Chain A
């Protein structure tokens, strides 16, 4: 049955959490009531990436974008848009209070600059229907590989494309495949790493939620190229929607004969098993992940013998990340040359010579538009933050952007014109990582942020090797001391020393990259550290133990009339004052928790 209009309701985790499923039900009910169910179809799609304004609905084929929907808006919306033909302006995206709303999705800055390869089907298909994926040229990459190309030709194509591992390391995928292909052995595995553990990053989850078949197709092509017949997807159990859609997709692929024996009538056979991870951060590390699949504790081992030679169950194993696999079908279908046109550098001779294609970033922090963006390699940080992200919230000044998840580094404002690719980010001490991007403004203290990241890594360290277990914990302790005013200048030297050692001597990449936030913040924001240890002051006023809270008597008396809220909020009974008169803080009693500062409705409490 042909419909005139399609309502693409976002069913990514973010929107589902904001009741998008209820919106879908209401839509169906309301459309039915008005006898429109033959004309308008409601489709649930994967994540659109613009999670900050969810729940989202796009009206196709017009491409009209509605945001921040509530179930109560739906009857009005249906009446206005689908009966009277008047798109509802108040539910559209409004970039700025002074500017008119933007009706079309493609006109919104957040989407305008994005180039979609891994996420090309997001918002366009129902991820739970294999037919919709096939309609969007799905599985034609696999068909091409199996019927037109020899395995070696597939590898050559991937090598030529310059595709590099999207999981963080940036290892050229083609070289990995080629090495694996050369290793003898009948039993060989391909693994998809969907154990995305970086806080605030959800690229892989979104890809699986919005287009699970692209990952399956990528793995099929890889398995064909490397002669494997067994695949694993290691996915976090905390991703229930992604897991459900992935399992459904695998089931559908099996039904269609795309997994199993004699795929496309050839001798090639392949099947995928799904292993659910329990959420340990370190299990995103390839050897720890394999240990976990084997049923052992998820701890990494030395990789002096590469996993492509001796990996899962001691067999040759190729592990790639979700995003890497999702790129593969497109490269095979459209050719390596199409892929190399996007991105930086030259990879014709040296696979490490540049970064090609696109990268999905999870843009969070103090930007206006938070969400998932897929951008071509080489785009500048400034473009991502200001053009796509819409700049800094509340018109504040940007201080730094932290890329690469908890193990990435801080990039100062002066370097925002840096083109984003694997090598450039590494050069400045940060990394691509899996694609986290946290924007900080002048209210954020880098020491505090570094402490936050170190706290995460030291808690998630598996504890196997000494440098990571003991080193990151001591680094965290030192940072903690600095943020409460007990730090000294010697501590900074010690921190630098320790960071270097942990990077050099840790067993796996978790320890090897955990000190990055400290190293880069010490490099680019040393003054801020010095303010903490010398003057015992936090310039961003974020480290509360270094603040002195005082009450502006005039504001307190005139605006607040001594409202007494602060007195009640103070756990130390340090605030005193008569009603209707200005209050005071007893600095000897004050433990600097900042509760009064948060409580005061008149901004009468100042920090010195």
Chain B
């Protein structure tokens, strides 16, 4: 520890602390412009100039990077220091008169007008004041070294290599963050391209809240993008997180919880539209899936909710095509149930936000829910064109007479019995709802069944629609079959009630008829293990015998019949007991 005298105040600080830090401890304000907590002091604005006195000699140094020594005397407010700061500020003020940080500092130092006339005056409010923060953070913290200074003297400016976007830029946005004037802005490239197929739904920066509607709404670190985790550099977030919530060494972990009942709500996925090349998804510009379009509609989305074509223009006509993959012999025979209504919603929003014509291509309009039919009627009044017929193909019409290229939707209009080709600028496809890809795996884990459409099978479609054939396993939502949000909520509530009813009792009454392995006789052949339709039999590796989970066993007797060693018997139904019963019955 060393003692320094700052403006007559004695401060005790660690050696090599900067004067700026020491003054802060002493409660003395020193103006700064280029200083950033995140960076090594750069010392270029020279506003933090202070007078250091050693013996009889005094010297002007910058407080931000001058390391203190024992017995140092510092004057932060001498006439000389004030004169220097004012002149520096006058110079800056004459060059960037409208930048807020410059204006504020000028006011703080008592300057209202500059005596200089800068020929290089930049009147923008977000002008670059050449503090160097962006260049330094990119080089020292991010270690990407994308930004650099170009030119010398008054020509100095911050540039990207060759003034082009660099591949070395990792889009971290650190430069924009440290920029005191807002000269560096983060621009959404997606917005520029307008290409939905290139949009990324994932996070762009290493730390982000996955989506604005995320629950819980907390930021997470993307390991692949985090500079700290990839290069051991940076680590700035942890220095800034006051509660110390950021841990770089956290790992994904598996937690085992013992439970009595399980509700499976593994949901659904939408069909990959690339399977149906005739609709051109992923091949033609401006052919979007309903999820893409939903993303576009979102006010926090890439276009801020503006409906636009890839080139950024407003569509003149929009086609919404129902039943892509649903009610289709070649893909899914079932109806996806939700598409009609969200397609109508899209039509309504397109009408609302653009003057575009809207065409709905449907097989049957299924507006079955509460208020749905009324909504359909309203859309007819809004002038949405309803065309009953399955779309055969979507093609790109070539550019004619310099007009904008457009898309042609080919279909048979079954109501008028004619083949039609309708030109549009944008097509929205409504893909089928499918069971999630890992449904097969889940089925095996929980020993439940799937219906032919691969959704999970309920115990009884009318009388027990939330239970499965396996005791204690329940299903709800789209895991059971396509359904909309109200139906999902209703089913999930029902399942929860079923589960609670068992929990409230506290114990479960089970059928007494169970199979039982007599361990002394079991040879560990494992024949029974795979036979059990309820997966109730497990092999005990330590004892080398099979064992039956009584909670899962339904007492069907398959294993009893199959066991070559006759080691399995039905509880209360052993051969001896049956024979004794028979004997009793036959005894007169």
Q: Which residues of A contact B385 (CB under 8 A)?
A: none
A473/B153 contact (C-beta < 8 A), A304-B66, A464-B44, A505-B46 known: yes
Q: Compute how far the CA of A560 lies from the CA of B47 in the bound complex, rounded to whole angstroms.
A: 62
B148 within 8 A of A: yes
B44 and A466 within 8 A (CB): yes
> Which residues from chain A contact B153 at a C-beta distance below 8 Å?
458-463, 469, 472-473
Instruction: Say whether B322 faces chain A, with CB atoms less than 8 Å apart.
Output: no
Name B residues whose Cβ lies closer than 8 Å to a Cβ of A: 43-47, 49, 60-62, 65-67, 80, 83-84, 87-88, 91-92, 94-95, 115-120, 130, 132, 148-149, 151-156
Chain A residues near B148 (CB-CB < 8 A): 297
**Residue of B with least CB distance to A465:** B44
Residue among A282, A463, A477 making CB contact with B119, cutoff 8 Å:
A477
Tell me the nearest residue of chain B to A504, going by C-beta.
Answer: B60
> How far, in angstroms, from A498 to B49 measured CA to CA in the complex?
15
Residues in chain B near residue A467, CB distance under 8 A: 46, 87-88, 91
Complex-state Cα separation, A501 to B82, whole angstroms: 11
Task: Give the distance in Å from the alpha carbon of A501 to the alpha carbon of B152 in the complex.
Answer: 21
Q: What are 10 residue pairs bridging A and B, where the CB atoms are less than 8 Å apart in the complex?
A: A304-B65, A461-B152, A462-B153, A463-B155, A467-B87, A470-B118, A497-B83, A504-B49, A505-B88, A507-B43
Most buried by B among A458, A464, A494: A464
Residue of A nearest to B83 (CB): A501
Contact B80 A463 (CB under 8 A): no
- Count of A-B contacts judged by CB separation below 8 Å: 99
| CB pair B65 A302 closer than 8 Å | yes
Contact partners of B94 in chain A: CB under 8 A: 470, 474
Q: Are A302 and B84 in contact (CB under 8 A)?
A: no
List the B side residues contacting A497 at CB < 8 Å: 83, 87
**A227 close to chain B: CB less than 8 A:** no
Residues of A within 8 A of B116 (CB): 474, 494
| A2 on interface, CB distance cutoff 8 Å | no
Separation of A403 and B153 alpha carbons in the complex (Å): 24
Bound-state Cα–Cα, A304 to B153, Å: 23
Within 8 A of B (CB), among A410-467: 458-467
B122 CB, min distance to chain A CBs, angstroms: 12
Contact flags A283-306 to B (C-beta < 8 A → 1, else 0):
000000000000001010110110
Contact B118 A474 (CB under 8 A): yes
Contact A470 B44 (CB under 8 A): no
Q: Interface size for chain A: under 10, 10 to 19, 20 to 34, or 35 or more residues? A: 20 to 34
Q: Which residues of B contact A471 (CB under 8 A)?
A: 87, 91
Max chain B C-beta neighbours (<10 A), residue from A462, A469, A494: A469
Asked if A492 is an interface residue, CB under 8 A from chain B, the answer is no
Query: In chain A, what residue has the closest Cβ to B60?
Result: A504
Does B91 lie within 8 Å of A465, measured CB to CB?
no
Tell whether A507 pairs with B92 under 8 Å between CB atoms, given A304-B61, A494-B115.
no
Contact A466 B155 (CB under 8 A): no
**Nearest neighbor of A458 in chain B, beta-carbon distance:** B153
Q: How far is the CB of A498 from chain B (nearest CB, A)?
A: 7
Closest to B16 in A: A305
Chain A residue contacts of B65, Cβ below 8 A:
302, 304
Of the candidates B88, B95, B154, the one whose C-beta lies within 8 Å of that of A458 is B154
User: A203 within 8 Å of B by Cβ?
Assistant: no
Contact of B46 among A304, A461, A466, A472 (CB under 8 A): A466
Set B60, B120, B149: member contacting A505, Cβ < 8 A: B60
> Which A residues are CB-close (under 8 A) to B49?
504-505
Contact (Cβ within 8 A) B84 A505: yes
Apart from the given pairs A467-B88, A471-B87, 6 other A-B contacts in the complex at a CB distance below 8 Å: A299-B149, A305-B67, A461-B154, A463-B130, A463-B153, A504-B49
Q: Is the CB of A507 within 8 A of B67?
A: no
> Is the C-beta of A280 less than 8 angstroms from some C-beta in chain B?
yes
In the complex, A472 Cα to B152 Cα: how many Å?
A: 13
Instruction: A471 to B114: give the CA distance in the assembly, Å.
Output: 13
A504 to B46, CA, bound (A): 10
Whether B152 pairs with A466 at a CB distance below 8 angstroms is no
- Bound-state CA distance A469–B149 (Å) is 13
Bound complex: CA of A282 vs CA of B149, how far in Å?
15
Interface string of A460-496 (1 = CB under 8 A from B): 1111111101111110010000000000000000100
| Minimum Cβ distance to chain B for residue A493 (Å) | 10
Which of A463, A498, A506 contacts B154, CB < 8 Å?
Answer: A463
A463 near B151: Cβ-Cβ < 8 Å: yes
Task: Compute how far the CA of A304 lies from the CA of B40 in the bound complex, rounded to whole angstroms.
Answer: 14
A493-525 interface with B by 8 A CB criterion: 494, 497-498, 501, 504-507
Q: State which of A282, A494, A504, A507 has its C-beta within 8 Å of the C-beta of B44.
A: A507
Q: Which of B91, B152, B154 contacts A280 (CB 8 A)?
A: B152
Q: Is the beta-carbon distance between A470 and B91 smaller than 8 angstroms? A: yes
Task: Report the separation of the CA atoms of residues A461 and B91 in the bound assembly, to the nearest whole angstrom.
Answer: 16
The verdict on A466 contacting B88 (CB below 8 Å), with A494-B115, A501-B83 known, is: yes
In the bound complex, how far is the Cα of B45 from the Cα of A147, in angstroms? Answer: 51
Given A505-B84, A507-B46, are A304 and B67 neighbors across the interface (CB < 8 Å)? yes
For A478, the closest partner residue in chain B by CB is B116
- Chain A residue nearest to B80 in the complex (CB): A504
Residues of B within 8 A of A465 (CB): 43-46
Complex Cα gap A79–B578 (Å): 145
B489 CB to nearest A CB, Å: 62
How close is B70's CB to chain A, nearest CB, in angstroms?
A: 15
Inter-subunit contact A466/B115 (CB<8 Å):
no
Q: Roughly how many angstroms separate A208 CA and B4 CA in the complex, as a whole number? A: 48
Chain A residue at smallest Cβ distance from B145: A296
Q: Chain B residues with Cβ under 8 A from A464's Cβ?
A: 44, 132, 149, 156
Q: Are B88 and A501 neighbours in the complex by a CB distance under 8 Å?
A: yes
CA distance A467 to B92 in the complex (A): 9
Query: Which residues of chain B have C-beta atoms less than 8 A from A470's C-beta?
Result: 91-92, 94-95, 118, 154
Q: Which A residue's beta carbon lies closest to that of B114? A: A474
Alpha-carbon distance between A465 and B154 when the two chains are bound, in angstroms? 10
A292 smallest CB distance to B (angstroms) = 13
